[in-house]
Structure 1
Amino acid sequence: MSIFDQIKNAAHNHPTVKNMAEKIGIDQETAERAIAALTEGHHAEGDTMQVAADKSGIDQGVLSQVMEHVGGEGSLQNFMQILDRDHDGNPLNDITSAAGKLFGKN
């Protein structure tokens, strides 16, 4: 499962995400995708907003509003830390490990 999917699942049906979506005037599913895309964009090479827009298909104006509501670009690192179980700065190995356990490889 990708970082995008992991974060989107973590945000799914979260009351804070629902409230944010209502304040911005978007549906909750778009808010979930925006948070996931922004978080992945923050971790990727290049401009966070451009990567997030390319990944999600969401307008950069909406992405900017979501980023403001979650606390700015610095707060996106917090979403990555949620997935980084061993706190080594790399959530990808934790996602791989979890997937391996799920499929009986670890």
Structure 2
Amino acid sequence: MSVLDGILKNVGGAPDDVANLASKVGIDPGLAEKAIAVLSRTHQMDGDTVELASQRTGLDTGVLSQIVAQIGGEGSLGEFARMVQDDPSLLAGLLDFDGDGNPMDDIAGMAKGLFGGKG
């Protein structure tokens, strides 16, 4: 069970796990985890959370908005963001695939893969 599965189980109205959420939104569970992680980080930034996450992942804002709705809306996303702010290591492994300490190159590669590019 992933860290996010544990969080989702405690959010009323949210799917019980990332795989269930991903199925409802129509994306791969691994991609759903990454999207939730990026949404949690961008929620702490100035600007529109979904727009910022879309810019960082290349995912469509509609898909990201569906994810926010599935996890319980902005309130639940804010709770995720607080948890990440308190312990950034919670999501570090989800985003930094190659272990180089910089998750942004991995997120960009993920987005390229969605559109048929090479990551």
Query: Which bracket does the TM-score occupy, shorter chain normalised?
Result: 0.5 to 0.7
Give the AA of the match of 1:10. Answer: V
TM-score, normalised relative to structure 2: 0.57
Contact 2:41 2:84 in 1 (8 A): no
State percent identity of aligned pairs. 42
Larger Rg: 1
Give the AA of the match of 2:22. Answer: A
User: What is the match of residue 56 of structure 1?
Assistant: 57
Give the AA of the match of 1:73. Answer: E
CA distance in 1, matches of 2:81, 2:31: 19
Secondary structure in structure 1 of the residue aligned to 2:17: helix
Could you say if the C-alpha distance between residues 95 and 36 of structure 1 is closer, same or farther in structure 2, counting changes exceeding 3 Å? closer
User: What is the match of residue 20 of structure 1?
Assistant: 21
Which is richer in helix? 1
Secondary structure in structure 1 of the residue aligned to 2:65: helix
After superposition, the CA RMSD in angstroms is: 2.3
Q: Segments of 4+ in structure 1 off by > 4 A?
A: none
Aligned residues: 79
Gaps of 5+ in 2: 9-15, 90-119
Gaps of 5+ in 1: 1-8, 85-90, 97-106
